[in-house]
Amino acid sequence: MPAVTRLLRPAAVAVAAGSMLLCLSPSAFADKTNPGEGSFGGSGSETDTSASGGRVDETIKSGVSSVIVFDRSKNGGGESTGGVTSTTSWTPPACYYAPKHTPKELDAQMRQVWMSSAPSPEWALKTQNYFVNGKPYKDFNKDKEGKGYWWDAYVTEGREEDPAARDCNELPFWVDEGDEPPTDIPQVISPEMLAQLAYAEIRVPSTEVELAPADTTKVNLPTWAWLDTAEFKPVSVTASVPLLGLSATTRAEPVSLKITPGTDDAVTFPASGQCEIRDGQIGEPYTKGKADETPPCGVKYLRSSGDGSYNLQATVTWKISWTSTIGAGGDLPDGEFGADQDVVVQEIQAVNR
């Protein structure tokens, strides 16, 4: 199961502090002299450290200290499911900031880094001033133990090589319990960002359609297409940060089916190939006596597939929306999920008498 867990960290010096794991590379620190340029090394770091999520019944936990919890109990099921892809260029966030360290944990990790050969003297001095010497923090805020957290960067699993993952390049920053995180850092976790992360966890049923005639059809014969509406119903995933009392639910509802015949020698019903969902149905099952009717959703092939087959693609569009425990909500870009299937088209054999 996917889990939003990757840490934005270089690799080499591994330090265990409680449930934390920090990896740092000497090369990543060679030119780091500005503490604002990266989280323990910043955008020049590699992403070599991961914290795997776990399953508790249908609830997925992820992130160090399980900062984000995904409830997937209302997700799509069936023999085959997949994630939706945005119909636009938008994607869920590649990285974000959320609570990660207590003062003692961060102190232990950073002192191990400073004792290693990894950082340059300039970077070590800058970060010691930043975390210890009051510029702006003093002694890792240990006087605030239990009264807040150090927030740090997470990288969404599977997005480690995405350039957008390097946008979260701030050093860890402190947020008192009950306070709002900094407003000048766009990647801080929020209900809307939780909804966006939940978007990536949405799973919907396979879109292989029922056809009549099934598998093999005839030239110029309308072929009916429909989906099992029992499987195609709204699904949702809830993402929450228990530490902050934040929660958001992302909901996906099927709205249409797009038929792509796999050849230009075909016509679709309707002509656009876009079958709208009506009365809870996607297309209409063929029944005896409808041979002379035009299917509300389907295709007619104009040429035989010869010794092969045509690759028909059926793609369902899902409307995506979200709500949250604080009352905020709205729409996210529509998602699509499609599947291919082979269709054999034969010539109608005429009999001369």
The 10s digit of each residue's pLDDT in 186-201 is 999 999 999 999 999 9
β-strand partners of 247: 240
How far CA 52 is from CA of 22, 69, 210, 318, in Å, comes to: 14, 13, 39, 29
Selected residue with higher pLDDT from 7 and 246: 246
The whole-number pLDDT of residue 258 equals: 95
For the segment 87-94, the average pLDDT, to the nearest whole number, is: 95
The whole-number pLDDT of residue 117 equals: 80
Give 314-337 as a DSSP string: EEEEEEEEEEETTS-EEEEEEEEE
pLDDT exceeds 90 at position 273: yes
The whole-number pLDDT of residue 158 equals: 87
The whole-number pLDDT of residue 282 equals: 86
Nearest to 187 by CA among 1, 8, 3, 2: 8
For the segment 330-350, the average pLDDT, to the nearest whole number, is: 91
For the segment 194-220, the average pLDDT, to the nearest whole number, is: 93
The whole-number pLDDT of residue 278 equals: 80
pLDDT, mean over the chain: 81
349 — pLDDT class (breaks 50, 70, 90): low
User: Which tens digits make up the pLDDT trace of 138-160?
Assistant: 999 999 999 999 999 999 988 99
85 — pLDDT class (breaks 50, 70, 90): very high
Paired tokens of 69:
């919890």
155: left (phi over 0), alpha (psi -120 to 50) or beta: beta
User: Which tens digits make up the pLDDT trace of 282-305?
Assistant: 889 999 888 889 999 999 999 999
215: left (phi over 0), alpha (psi -120 to 50) or beta: left
For the segment 309-317, the average pLDDT, to the nearest whole number, is: 95
Count of C-beta atoms within a 10 Å radius of residue 110: 24
Peptide bond into 186 cis (omega under 30): no
Q: Is 321 exposed, middle or buried (0-12, 13-18, 19+ CB in 10 A)?
A: middle
pLDDT exceeds 60 at position 203: yes
For the segment 307-317, the average pLDDT, to the nearest whole number, is: 95
Paired tokens of 82:
């997949």
The whole-number pLDDT of residue 118 equals: 76
The whole-number pLDDT of residue 3 equals: 33
Range with the lowest mean pLDDT among 10-14, 117-121, 141-145, 313-317?
A: 10-14
The whole-number pLDDT of residue 298 equals: 95
How far is it, in rounded angstroms, from Cα 264 to Cα 254?
Answer: 27
Dihedral sign (CA 290, 291, 294, 300): positive
How far is it, in rounded angstroms, from Cα 126 to Cα 120?
Answer: 10
How far is it, in rounded angstroms, from Cα 297 to Cα 279?
Answer: 14
pLDDT exceeds 70 at position 47: no
pTM (predicted TM-score): 0.79
User: Which tens digits make up the pLDDT trace of 102-137?
Assistant: 999 999 999 999 998 878 999 999 999 999 999 999
Residue count of the chain? 353
Paired tokens of 276:
């709208």
pLDDT exceeds 50 at position 249: yes
45 — pLDDT class (breaks 50, 70, 90): very low
Residues 6+ apart with CB under 8 A from 93: 156, 164, 187, 193, 196, 197
Helix or strand holding residue 113 (H, E): helix 103-115
The whole-number pLDDT of residue 43 equals: 30
